Structure 1
Amino acid sequence: MNSLQQIELAEVDALQAEEQQFEIIDMNGLNWAFRKISALRAQEKEITMLANVEQERIMEWKQKELNPIHNSITFFESHIQRYHAEQLAADPKQKTISTPYGKSKTRKSSEAPEQQDKEQLLQYAIENELDDCIKTEIRWGELKKKFRIEKIGEEKVIVDEDGQIVPGVAIKPESISYSVEV
């Protein structure tokens, strides 16, 4: 942020402190407001950059501190799993081992199909007419190009290319949106 922008920010603070009535009445006022927004955006960018640098430093520190902890947890979990596997081999009914400080549980899962190639599966489902397994969705961007608005009597309706009224579609009223670019 340069010194001119700092002056602009001081004026903004003074204006807000006095709670003056502000109104743009000419091009000079409009230009003044744009300068104020530019200075505020520069300040916002500066703060965001500083925060991002600090967040990166904190995340690096956090990762450095947590790595040995995660390694130790993994070490102990692998030993617990090995011990439990030995106990399970000796007694297949011992699916849970409990102590005052924690539990080790096992859960057996059966063989199950696993999806590998979506395109092949889709083709298979189409060829074998498994329609209840196929999800269809409307591509709104393409569909709305096929519609037009027509006035029937006093009412506006949406019709398709054949002139049929389309159910499930409403007319969004015309509006003007404003944006400020600095």
Structure 2
Amino acid sequence: MLNELELLEIREAENFMYQEIDENEDKSRFKICNLEQANWAFRKIRAFKKQIEENEKLAKAEIERIQNWLKKENEKIQKSIEFFESLIGEYLIEQRKVDPKFKLSTPYGKATFRKQQLKWEYEEDKLVEWLESMGLNEMIRVVKEPIKNEVKKLAAQIKEGQVITEDGLIIEGVKVIEQPEKLVIEIND
């Protein structure tokens, strides 16, 4: 929870930002010119980040509460659906005893039985071991992928986005993209 000092930081920052917007329509905007002003800005950022954390914590709790409610409500409804589906299934079984090709069809729905495909379950380690022992290696897939850290070690130089080895060979399949510097601001707690 935000303490009084952090709340004060946020109110002060908001007042400052609104004042800057109003006053600087014709003037130049505020700039940080010394260490004290930078420290002041860090305090504002820290307070705002804490406010974001609190908002996310509150939202997470509310989302979790709503998801629990939704799950309970849908479980009740699903039980009702399953009850009526079982009644329809029992009716269909009885009718198929009389007519094996019976299909149930009404303006609100249809019901019939369909054969399903066989379901295969694999214990992959055991299966691979068995296939190898039987000499059926063609039934085993081997995944090939480059070891990227090792590929980086081959680089002697980078020129126009291409990686060149010590022997002057261009490594195909690799493109190096230069990135601009990124501003990193760390706020201490």
Match of 2:93 in 1: 85
- Cα distance, 1:174–1:70 mapped onto 2, change above 3 Å: closer
Once the two structures are superposed, what CA deviation does each residue of 1:37-93 show, in whole Å capped at 9, x if it has no partner? 111112112222222222233233333333322211111112222322333343332
CA RMSD, Structure 1 to Structure 2 (Å): 3.0
Which blocks of at least 5 consecutive residues in structure 1 are unaligned?
none
Once the two structures are superposed, what CA deviation does each residue of 1:79-137 show, in whole Å capped at 9, x if it has no partner? 2223223333433323x42112211132212435x141223444527942426x72624
1:168 aligned counterpart, secondary structure: coil
Once the two structures are superposed, what CA deviation does each residue of 1:132-153 show, in whole Å capped at 9, x if it has no partner? x7262414534534431436xx
- Aligned residue pair count: 177
1:146 and 1:160 in contact (8 A); partners too: no
Distance 2:88 2:156 in 1: 68
2:7 and 2:47 in contact (8 A); partners too: yes
Match of 2:49 in 1: 41
**1:114-133 mapped onto 2 (5 Å cutoff):** 114-123=120-129, 124=131, 127-130=135-138
* 2:54 equivalent to 1:60: no
* 2:162 equivalent to 1:172: no
Q: Kindly provide the amino acid, as one letter, of the partner of residue 88 in structure 1.
A: R
Match of 2:105 in 1: 98
TM-score, structure 1 length as denominator?
A: 0.77
Q: Kindly provide the amino acid, as one letter, of the partner of residue 6 in structure 1.
A: L
Distance 2:96 2:65 in 1: 46
Which blocks of at least 5 consecutive residues in structure 2 are unaligned?
none
2:155 and 2:165 in contact (8 A); partners too: yes
Q: What's the CA shift for 1:7?
A: 1.4
